[in-house]
Copies of this chain bind each other. A is one copy, B any other.
Amino acid sequence: MLKSHIGGGDADHIKIRGLDLVEDLVDKHDFVEVLCLAILGHFPDQRMKRLINNSLVTSIDHGLTPSALSTRLTLHGAPESLQGAVAAGLLGAGSRFLGTVEVSARFMQDAMSGFEGGVEPSDAQLRQLADEAVARSRAARRKIPGFGHPIHVQGDPRALRAQRIAEDEGYFGRYFRFALQVSQSLSASVGRPMPLNATGAKAAVLLDLGLSPEFGKALTLIGRVAGLVAHAFEERSRPIGQDIWNMAVAASEGGEP
């Protein structure tokens, strides 16, 4: 017996988490609400919906990134398959790019694992946990994603805005407080300002809302598909795939075998 609680249906009725697609969902709930229902099993409250929309919007496009280039190069060779071009771009959303929110959230979750579900930790406790986690990461020469910014050394405006929204909506919690302690601990350890950045803020908010690190990555994938579609469509009307190929060949030198 294969058990799936997501949905199912017959030729006439399709259900998602027990609700009828036509009767209960279409034209009554928007995409973000049903996305949440399908993945998490419940509709989001307003603040979770706001976070999800912001995460999706942030992920849509960052210009001619490796994933956008892969989509365009793939469509150039296989114009018959939009799904293939989008899939090729999606495959680059791994641990190094587009997956950093997940890595940052895992770092915070691991460091805070002792406090899961217990009483609210004090700032001193959070600082101690931050010092220990930073020390472990630096000993293992592991980069901590979510901290540091090349320009805004005194504070990334996107992180500050995320903090303000969290405070407004009442979910500024232990993970965001911990992230701010990590920023201080890390700055002291490396000897230069390491402000919480947009990635780290997103990771902290995710955890304060009770969501998983992997859910953060999932939102990145869903949002990015929209951007990859945009690149695929533009590639059809104003192709640059051949130019990228030419440019790469012109810039290459074979060298000796």
Q: Which residue of B lies closest to A74 (CB)?
A: B92
**Cα separation A90 to B226 with both chains bound (whole Å):** 13
**Which residues on the B side are within 8 Å of A73 (C-beta)?**
66-67, 69-70, 73, 92
Q: In chain A, residues 1-38, which have Cβ atoms closer than 8 Å to a Cβ of chain B?
A: 1-9, 11-12, 14-19, 21-22, 25-27, 29-32, 34-35, 38
Residue interface bits A209-226, CB-to-B below 8 A is 1, else 0:
000001101100111011
Cβ-defined contact, A32 with B30, below 8 A: yes
> Chain B's nearest CB lies how many Å from the CB of A161?
7
Choose from B1, B16, B57, B257 the contact partner of A31 (Cβ within 8 Å).
Answer: B57
Cβ-defined contact, B257 with A83, below 8 A: no
> Chain B's nearest CB lies how many Å from the CB of A25?
6
Cβ-defined contact, A35 with B226, below 8 A: yes
Choose from B218, B225, B255 the contact partner of A82 (Cβ within 8 Å).
Answer: B218
A136, CB-defined interface residue at 8 Å: no
Choose from B54, B69, B151 the contact partner of A244 (Cβ within 8 Å).
Answer: B69
**Which residues on the B side are within 8 Å of A252 (C-beta)?**
1-4, 8, 63-64
**Cα separation A12 to B156 with both chains bound (whole Å):** 9
Cβ-defined contact, B94 with A79, below 8 A: yes
Indicate the size class of the contact surface on chain A: 35 or more
**Cα separation A97 to B83 with both chains bound (whole Å):** 12
Residues in chain A within 8 A of chain B (CB atoms): 1-9, 11-12, 14-19, 21-22, 25-27, 29-32, 34-35, 38-39, 41, 50, 52-54, 56-58, 60-67, 69-70, 73-74, 76-88, 90-99, 149-152, 157-158, 161, 165, 214-215, 217-218, 221-223, 225-227, 229-234, 236, 238, 240-241, 243-245, 247-249, 251-257
List 24 A–B pairs whose Cβ atoms lie within 8 Å, in order of A's numbering: A2-B253, A3-B238, A4-B234, A4-B252, A6-B227, A9-B62, A26-B58, A38-B227, A39-B226, A64-B252, A69-B73, A69-B244, A70-B73, A77-B93, A78-B95, A80-B94, A85-B91, A87-B90, A88-B92, A218-B229, A218-B233, A222-B222, A222-B226, A244-B248
